[in-house]
Structure 1
Amino acid sequence: MADEPDPQLSVPVGMFEDIEDLKATNAALIAEVKALAAQVTALADGGGADPGEALGGDEAAAGGEPADEGEAEAEQYPPFILLLDSPAYDDELRALIEWVEGVLVPGYLAEPSADARWCHLWFEHPVAVARLHAAWLAWQELTDPASCGYTGPSVWHRDHLDPALRELRASTGPFAGCTKGEHQVGHRLPGLVPSAWTHGDD
């Protein structure tokens, strides 16, 4: 009987740390479930705070990321170019022109033709600016291996670049009135700009 190994000595030391981690995770999950249950009860009774507000506070208490940090992170993304006013619009357009003329035109555009139109003054066509800006934003995200892995560039070509070029270079696209050596913008401008794109004083 004395020769039997002590059962406490045969347990790996790292297991105790794993058990403590599991206990802490379990406690955080229980706290979150209780908070959600209280929130549901409050809503069923017809009172209580807004569900999003209660959840944001409970996430912080349970060890999750506070809502304010998530909102601050989302604000770091650049806005869509058509929603910008000068001088922010001008700065964004300059950066877009640099990308289009430095990456897109030499790497992806062949000689313009009736079936594949292009205007050297593309930045004067709001529709072209909008589509190219969207493709550029996607390019910034999907060519960063840290955020998209190895498949990002393929996704960018398939889901962003190819559809954008199809629309831009089509015979009915924004460059439909532009022929080699000529440039026309007025034929594609709407009479009224959608209100979401304007910043009137409210």
Structure 2
Amino acid sequence: MADEPEVPGFEVPVGLFEDMEDVKAQLAALTTLVKTLAEGASDDPGEASAHDETEAPEEGDEEDEWQFPPFILLLDPPQYDDELRALIEWVEGVLVPGYLAEPSADARWCHLWFEHPVAVARLHACWLAWQELTDPATCGYTGPSVWHRDHLDPCLLQLRGSSGPFAGCTKGEHQVGHRMPGVVPSAWRQIED
């Protein structure tokens, strides 16, 4: 047993392990992306193929390109409705039963949250992050921890706070327009005499 290496007697901070797991997750995601890009590349990247020179991309080819998730508030009605329906399913099926306790003055919630554009935008962003960070293939095993720390907790603090989008909503009473600006500043208006 004299051949065993000597182990140093120091403790590694717990945060260092989390950081290393984050780095591993990012490396795994980048490796997957590189493999995907390499599979789509030609054998000789320095030369353009004859296919590239003679044919213009068709309209259907755009669907094969990487699509980033849409920002929900920029979508038009048919796409917006589909995205909102999926978001409602996630919020009502995962977020509300798993993370939201009874609303109070310090932790507000509106049962008609989908009528508050600020809430829709924040919850949609949180949902997109959840989709990415709960897949161990792309984010490793620390993805859910990162999602809680970086996405869910700040989102809920903003939404449920006393100055959040539900500030005017109480049990049984719902107000959407309470955060809308009142009158346009006078410098922006033409005063007619």
State the TM-score, normalized to the length of structure 2. 0.62
Aligned residue in 1 for 2:3: none
Counterpart of 1:127 in structure 2 is: 118
Q: Does 1:147 align with 2:138?
A: yes
Runs of 4+ in 1 over 4 A off after TM superposition: none
Quick one: higher RCO (CA 8 Å, sep 6+), 1 or 2?
A: 2
Paired position in structure 2 for 1:61:
46
Correspondence for 1:173:
164
Deviation at 1:60, TM superposition (A): 2.8
Shift of 1:61: 2.0
* Mapped partners of 1:82, 1:172: distance in 2: 21
* Helix, strand or coil at the partner of 1:97: helix
Amino acid across the alignment from 2:150: D
Provide the rounded CA distance (Å) in 2 between the counterparts of 1:122 and 1:191: 22
Change (3 A) 1:145 1:191: farther
2:90 pairs with 1:84: no
**Count of matched residue positions in the alignment of Structure 1 and Structure 2:** 131
Cα deviation code 1:128-162 (max 9, x no counterpart) = 00000000000000000111010100000000000
Q: Which runs of 5+ in 2 are unaligned?
A: 1-40, 184-193
The alignment partner of 2:168 has SS state of coil
Match of 1:188 in 2: 179
Per the TM alignment, residue 78 of structure 1 is displaced from its structure 2 partner at its CA by: 2.0
Counterpart of 1:118 in structure 2 is 109
Aligned mates of 1:190, 1:134 — CA distance in 2: 24
Gaps of 5+ in 1: 1-55, 193-202
Q: Which amino acid aligns with 2:83?
A: E
Shift of 1:190: 4.4
Q: TM-score, normalised by structure 1?
A: 0.59
Q: Which AA in structure 1 matches 2:173?
A: E
Give the aligned partner of residue 136 of structure 1: 127
Specify the alignment match of 1:104 in structure 2. 95
Q: 1:33-55, CA deviations, whole angstroms, 9 ceiling, x for partnerless residues? A: xxxxxxxxxxxxxxxxxxxxxxx
Q: Which has the larger radius of gyration?
A: 1
